[in-house]
Amino acid sequence: MYNIITDFSWEFIEILAEMAPYLLLGFFIAGILHAVFPTATIQKYFGTSKYSSAINASIFGIPLPLCSCGVIPTGMSLYKNGASKGATVSFLISTPQTGVDSILVTYSLLGLPFAIIRPIVAFITGVLGGVFTNYLDKDKNPKLVSANEAVNTKTLTIKEKFVDIFRYGFVEFLQDISKWLVIGLVLAAVISAAIPDDFVSGLGLSPLLQMLIVLVISIPLYICATASVPLAAVLLLKGISPGAALVLLMAGPATNAATIAMIGNVLGKKSLFTYLISIIGGALIFGLIIDYLLPASWFELINMSHLVHKHDTLPNWLKLGSGILLIILIINGYLQKYIKTLKIRNTVIEHDNMGTKRVKVEGMTCNHCKANVENNLVKLDFLRKVTADLSTGIVELEGDDINLDKVKDTVIGLGYKYSE
């Protein structure tokens, strides 16, 4: 038992240290993207049923650091605010598969070929899914958003943008993925410590069968793009084919039971069909290309005992320091969330008056969910302020002559459950 615990601890530390510098850099770039390209500024590019809307959605979606839970409400909000079904499906396919943080982590653990191929596959599958959706399931009444409405956001000063970069990248975004990041690291460390290196190869499964098994497991599974990387790396060490690892990297983040249910409910069965076919078909086709057409040497992990590559020249002090800093930031994220929740609860109690109503919204799981609920509800004419609490699901509404029926319609339209 002692040896198992020791092996697990070392594997966890090593994987964390390898990922941490690239994660921190990814979080910083994520903050820059958030400050420079807020969701409202890109809605106007998604409003048509032409090929360009699907291409635009994939291009914008690939670098965005949205996890699987965050991309759902963001995609639904884009659709409700003017995006075509095709553009929405394209965004929902390409965005969760990658992200600037996950691309950097892919490079750190899996190498440059995987880091290049991953966003390429996300772009192609996203565009194809969007084009097929526009062809098979056209919007009868496209909801075009004017440019003025799309970019109607507060203009920040340079100082405020600088603060916003760090607030989003190292607090809000980290809050959203930290739980699943830790789970992914723990699972990778457990697999690495408990399963022999030749386990998968000893089973004698063909690459295609490995891909199908991984696909069946990945489709209903919830895992973010970044957390999928250490799992894929460890499975590669245990003998799984590179193509099957790609299937995990693509299908794991892009599909899960909640996403499937929400797309079917909001966009319809035809859009859900093109969404799933694009992801499944793309993952399998590109997995086969990797296993049978591309050089195997591109996807080998050089040191089978540790996740180290020829390109890795970062000093140990930087990796260990980054790992410690990442742990501190994760703890800070949870503390900030707890403190903010206490403040919101106290505010709700103090402002319980005739101009304030509270409703319950189920299904908010991250800061993107919270922001989408608040931003879409505050657009209603009778509301002045909307404050959502992630931990309780309570949404406080401030305004005059609050119409709860319209509030309910808006919440359900975003894919959440509503109750009073």
Q: State both tokens at 161.
A: 């943008």
Are 37 and 90 in the same domain?
A: yes
**What is the per-residue pLDDT for 47?**
61
CB atoms within 10 A of CB 17: 22
Are 255 and 366 in the same domain?
A: no
**What is the per-residue pLDDT for 67?**
66
Are 397 and 298 in the same domain?
A: no
Q: How far apart are CA 277 and CA 255, in angstroms?
A: 11
* Residue 338: inside a domain: no
Are 239 and 358 in the same domain?
A: no
Q: How far apart are CA 318 and CA 309, in angstroms?
A: 16
**What is the per-residue pLDDT for 310?**
46
* Residue 339: inside a domain: no
Are 224 and 357 in the same domain?
A: no
**What is the per-residue pLDDT for 333?**
87
Per-residue pLDDT of the chain (420 residues; tens, 9 = 90+): 667 788 788 888 887 887 788 888 878 887 887 777 655 555 566 665 567 888 888 988 898 877 666 677 677 767 766 778 888 899 999 988 888 888 988 988 888 999 999 999 999 999 999 999 888 876 554 444 333 343 344 566 778 888 888 888 888 878 877 887 888 788 878 877 777 766 666 677 899 999 999 998 888 777 778 888 888 988 888 889 999 999 999 998 888 777 787 788 778 888 889 999 999 999 999 999 999 999 988 887 644 444 544 445 678 888 899 999 999 999 998 888 788 777 666 654 444 445 788 898 888 877 778 888 888 888 888 888 898 888 788 888 988 888 888 898 888 877 788 887
Q: State both tokens at 331.
A: 């703890």
Structural domain for 386, as ranges: 351-419
The pTM of this model reads 0.74
Place of tokens 């095709």: 86
**What is the per-residue pLDDT for 49?**
59
- Cβ–Cβ under 8 Å, residues 373 and 361: yes
Our count of domains for the chain comes to 2
**What is the per-residue pLDDT for 409?**
87
Are 262 and 378 in the same domain?
A: no
**What is the per-residue pLDDT for 345?**
62
**Which residue, 329, 319, 334, is CA-closest to 13?**
319
Are 235 and 324 in the same domain?
A: yes
Residue 357 CB contacts under 8 Å (≥ 6 apart), including other chains:
396, 397, 402, 404
* Residue 123: inside a domain: yes
* Residue 182: inside a domain: yes
From 281, 296, 329, give the residue that closes a domain.
329
Supply the CATH number for residue 369's domain: 3.30.70.100
Are 216 and 270 in the same domain?
A: yes
Are 317 and 356 in the same domain?
A: no
From 299, 329, 359, give the residue that closes a domain.
329
SS3 412: helix
Name the strand (E) or helix (H) holding 385: strand 383-388
* Residue 337: inside a domain: no
Are 156 and 254 in the same domain?
A: yes
Q: State both tokens at 92.
A: 């929902």
Are 29 and 106 in the same domain?
A: yes
Are 256 and 125 in the same domain?
A: yes
